[in-house]
């Protein structure tokens, strides 16, 4: 379930989920992932979010982008087929590379 506000002065209300077209490659790039999390809007039609499958040396974490067309609340979001950035748990733990969510 999602939550939304009509404007800054209104109360939070339950909303509907995003109309979202997921890219096929996410489950191949990050198998057994926990779903999409930590969304952040760059602008009204561009969203970045993370996808991860754990915190071990064998894990993989990626940042993906989705773009929207249409007007709120009927925007249609489409995920890019390739991630904007990925890092393996091995690179993160052994080489000190940053977590994708912090990049």
Is residue 5 in some structural domain?
A: no
Q: Is the pLDDT of residue 75 over 90?
A: no
Residue 103's pLDDT is what?
Answer: 45
Q: What is the mean pLDDT of residues 43-53?
A: 88
The average confidence (pLDDT) of the chain is 76
The count of domains in the chain is 1
Residue 8 falls within a domain, yes or no? no
Instruction: Provide the pLDDT for residue 46.
Output: 94
> Has residue 6 been placed in a domain?
no
Lowest mean pLDDT among 6-15, 28-37, 61-70: 6-15
In a domain, 51, yes or no: yes
Residues 6+ apart with CB under 8 A from 12: 3, 4, 5
Cis peptide before 73 (omega within 30 of 0): yes
Q: How much of the chain, in percent, has pLDDT values that exceed 70?
A: 70
Domain that holds residue 87: 18-102
| Domain presence at residue 90 | yes
53: which 2 tokens?
């499958």
> What pLDDT does 67 receive?
92
Nearest to 83 by CA among 62, 52, 56: 62
| pLDDT of amino acid 8 | 64
User: Is pLDDT at 45 greater than 90 in this prediction?
Assistant: yes
């Amino acid at each position: 379930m999602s939550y939304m506000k009509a404007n800054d002065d209104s109360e939070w209300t339950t909303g509907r989920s995003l109309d979202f077209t997921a890219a096929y490659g996410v489950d191949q790039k990050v198998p057994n992932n926990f779903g999409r999390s930590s969304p952040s809007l760059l602008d009204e039609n561009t969203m970045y979010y993370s996808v991860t499958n754990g915190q071990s040396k064998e894990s993989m974490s990626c940042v993906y982008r989705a773009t929207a067309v249409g007007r709120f609340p009927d925007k249609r979001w489409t995920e890019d087929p390739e991630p904007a950035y990925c890092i393996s748990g091995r690179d993160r733990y052994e080489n000190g590379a940053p977590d994708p969510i912090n990049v």
